[in-house]
Amino acid sequence: PFSELDTLRDQVLSWYKSVQLPPYFLLLQYHSKENFLFHRRSDVLLMTPWFAPIVWEGTYNSEILNEQFRQRNVTVGLTVFAIKKYVAFLNKFLETAETYFMVGHRVNYYIFTDRPEEVPKVPLKEGRNVVVLQVQNYPRWQEISMRRMEMINSFSQQRFINEVSYVVCVDVDMRFNDQVGVEILSDLFGTLHPGFYAAERQSFTYERRPASQAYVPRDEGDFYYAGGFFGGTVMEVYKLTKKCHEAIMMDKAKGIEAIWQEESHLNKYFVYHKPTKILSPEYLWDDNMGRREILKKRRFLAVPKNHAAIRNK
């Protein structure tokens, strides 16, 4: 009965206080048994076969996690590429990030751009900074897309390792629509692609040509991951981007381009280097796909755009 559980909880809390354990344990007292100890979702997959959690609304407690990460004094790096006309998305991206991304934590926004003078001045909260990293552009948008792995890898080694604990890599033509916090952080995480999260393996759009370094056999692979939201510790992101960049350049030397550029290489990497956490499609959604019942939150949304008008411009 709940009365006995309440008594046990009070005894445990009293013990925590007496031994002076970190204060996030005391947050337990603010949560009833129904919504803390026993609350789980039964309508979605919550864990992978290799015991990596899949993050959905209702599967974690943000107060406890926030306290945990504050005690660790974590700084998060958020990388975006605003090349050519994509710089136009930066204002909305940064404004919404200041409202919803890692609220209460230190953040470095790493803006990779060929137009540093066009990076908008968005008011930032204390402990949050915009770092403009000037890079070259390329004639084709596909080339720009693939070069992201190279650039993230290079800067992971040059400066991220000295400035942040985690790196989160996302697309810029998006906006934050709800809280995206420390619940996403792990050694290595990927995001379920909104177009394939409920699909069978046979329909995944992996690279299927054996000649490509991104090749995945039809009997392998667990999930199909989006190229627009991945990350982890600086060292794990360094290893991921190094492997993907090397594979991309090996393909390029043979005149091959993977079907979905760097996303194909990312998926190949995750087949053989399992993520330690997976984000649900709440973290990368396009309202053109409708509003699914399982999505209690739509945290990071695609911005409507005319691709032809902004690519290769």
**Is 176 marked within a binding site?**
no
Residue 309 near residue 293 (C-beta atoms within 8 A): no
**Is 247 marked within a binding site?**
no
**Is 286 marked within a binding site?**
yes
**Is 10 marked within a binding site?**
no
**Is 238 marked within a binding site?**
no
**Is 81 marked within a binding site?**
yes
Cα(206)–Cα(271) distance, integer angstroms: 10
**Is 253 marked within a binding site?**
no
∠ CA 184-189-194, nearest 5°, is 85
**Is 225 marked within a binding site?**
no
Q: 44-56 b/e with 16+ CB inside 10 Å = b? A: beeebeeebbbbb
**Is 193 marked within a binding site?**
yes
Active site residues: 263
How many Å is the Cα radius of gyration of the chain?
A: 21
SS3 label, residue 147 = helix
Residue 260 near residue 277 (C-beta atoms within 8 A): no
Q: Which residue has the tokens 């039809």?
A: 218
| Exposure of 138 in the CB half-sphere (CA atoms within 13 A) | 10
Cα(214)–Cα(205) distance, integer angstroms: 11
Q: Which residues participate in the annotated binding site?
A: 81-83, 86, 171-173, 193, 205, 263, 286
Q: Which residues participate in the annotated binding site for Mn(2+)?
A: 171, 173
Q: Which residues participate in the annotated binding site for UDP-N-acetyl-alpha-D-galactosamine?
A: 81-83, 86, 171-173
